[in-house]
């Protein structure tokens, strides 16, 4: 058998093997065996040295043609097997789209976040900015900048968690106001801000108290600000959160950072002011504290109290949510019981 016949037989046998290969590994093994440096084609071509010189180009050309045909057949078979593998995988993983889908229940913001969102939207619409600040705060901003020097007895009302003698978990979001007052450029306009966030106090947890809760505090600093501006703002807040029929009243109180100060009550949204269990039969519900910014607070922030004045207020979204939805235990908000939380749908 001459070399050309050997090559022809090799091609025929190899093509049959390639066609019958059942996976890409087998095809690759055939490629290495037939076309490799130690493969049969190479062995056949070694015999060309015994051929007459005029025969060698013809045999060499035929050998290259055989090599190319086998390479093409190997590539084609590999592609066929890949298509078959993909089709089998798709068949195995296919979804019957005629079956009804499994509904995915859509979540919603936590009820406290809903209340905070509603407050933020109201004040953003009134031209306020929403400002965040650190929860791990300096004593200087948490107390001293708010007219509460060291050993001031009013600090006892805000017993908190100290990390060092001068670093603590903030007891209120008022430090954000102090920081913002220091940086604000009044040549660009008045300061109108709210500062929502978590606060911490060393409290014994019960139905109405928690060591961690939320606050939203507001501040306006400008020329010619009066108590009437404060009352009008809080009236709008009460109507937005509790209904258009609500009214407010202000009772004298004491806060170190405001003077004069007031407790703010809202007419009972349950009985309309007639008296019920919710308002303890007074017709009014205590909601927040407020007042005119104390001159000392302005001075410490580098603001001239002879030129500028302002008002501040602070409210608890937790308490607002309890009042609004009739929740009698603040701990319910933090237990992550979906059965409780899903009662409060997002509105607006």
Q: Name the binding residues.
A: 259
Instruction: Determine how β-strand 129-130 pairs with β-strand 191-200.
Output: parallel
Structure tokens at 345: 């749908």
Q: Name the binding residues for Mg(2+).
A: 259
Half-sphere exposure of 36 (CA within 13 A, CB side): 8
Q: Is 265 helix (H, G, I), strand (E, B) or coil?
A: strand
Residues β-bridged to residue 304: none
Question: Domain extents for the chain?
Answer: 3-93, 111-342
Q: How far apart are CA 247 and CA 234, in angstroms?
A: 10
Q: Which of 67, 73, 48 is nearest to 58 (CA)?
A: 48
SS3 content of the chain, % helix, strand, coil (to 5): 45, 20, 35
Q: In tens digits, what is the pLDDT along the chain, a chain of 348 residues?
A: 577 777 788 888 888 888 888 888 888 888 888 877 777 777 776 666 667 777 777 777 877 888 888 888 888 888 888 998 888 888 888 877 787 878 888 888 999 999 999 999 999 999 999 999 999 999 999 999 999 888 888 787 777 889 999 999 999 999 999 999 999 999 999 999 999 999 999 888 888 888 999 999 999 999 999 999 999 999 999 999 888 988 999 999 999 999 999 999 999 887 878 888 878 889 998 999 999 999 999 999 999 999 999 999 999 999 999 888 888 899 999 998 988 998 887 643
On the question of a cis peptide bond just before residue 249, with omega within 30 degrees of 0, the verdict is no
Is the sign of the CA dihedral 135, 137, 143, 147 positive or negative? Answer: negative
Topology classification of domain 111-342? BirA Bifunctional Protein; domain 2 (3.30.930)
Q: Is 220 helix (H, G, I), strand (E, B) or coil?
A: strand
């Amino acid at each position: 058998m001459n070399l050309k016949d050997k090559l022809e037989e090799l091609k025929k046998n190899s093509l049959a093997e390639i066609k019958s290969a059942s996976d890409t590994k087998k095809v690759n093994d055939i490629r290495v065996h037939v076309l490799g440096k130690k493969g049969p084609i190479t062995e056949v071509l070694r015999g060309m040295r015994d051929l007459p010189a005029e025969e060698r180009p013809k045999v060499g050309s035929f050998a290259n043609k055989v090599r190319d045909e086998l390479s093409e057949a190997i590539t084609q078979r590999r592609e066929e097997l890949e298509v078959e593998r993909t089709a089998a995988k798709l068949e195995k993983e296919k979804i019957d789209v005629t079956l009804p889908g499994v509904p995915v229940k859509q979540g919603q913001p936590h009820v406290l976040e809903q209340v905070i969102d509603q407050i933020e939207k109201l004040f953003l619409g009134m031209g306020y900015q929403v400002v965040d600040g650190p929860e791990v705060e300096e004593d200087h901003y948490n107390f001293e900048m708010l007219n509460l020097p060291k050993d001031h007895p009013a600090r006892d009302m805000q017993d908190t968690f100290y990390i060092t003698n001068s670093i603590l978990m903030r007891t209120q979001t008022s430090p954000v106001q102090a920081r913002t007052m220091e940086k604000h450029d009044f040549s660009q306009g008045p300061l109108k801000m709210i500062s929502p966030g978590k606060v911490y106090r060393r409290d014994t947890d019960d139905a109405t108290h928690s060591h961690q809760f939320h606050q939203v505090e507001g501040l306006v600093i400008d020329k010619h600000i009066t108590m009437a501006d404060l009352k009008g703002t809080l009236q709008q807040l009460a109507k937005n959160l509790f209904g258009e029929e609500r009214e407010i009243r202000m009772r004298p109180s004491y806060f170190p950072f405001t003077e004069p100060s007031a407790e703010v009550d809202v007419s009972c949204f349950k009985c309309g002011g007639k008296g019920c269990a919710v308002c303890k039969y007074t017709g009014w519900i205590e909601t927040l504290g407020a007042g005119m910014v104390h001159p000392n607070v302005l001075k410490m922030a580098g603001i001239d109290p002879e030129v500028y004045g302002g008002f501040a207020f602070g409210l608890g979204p937790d308490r607002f949510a309890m009042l609004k939805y009739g929740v009698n235990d603040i701990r319910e908000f933090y237990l992550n019981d979906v059965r409780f939380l899903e009662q409060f749908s997002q509105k607006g």
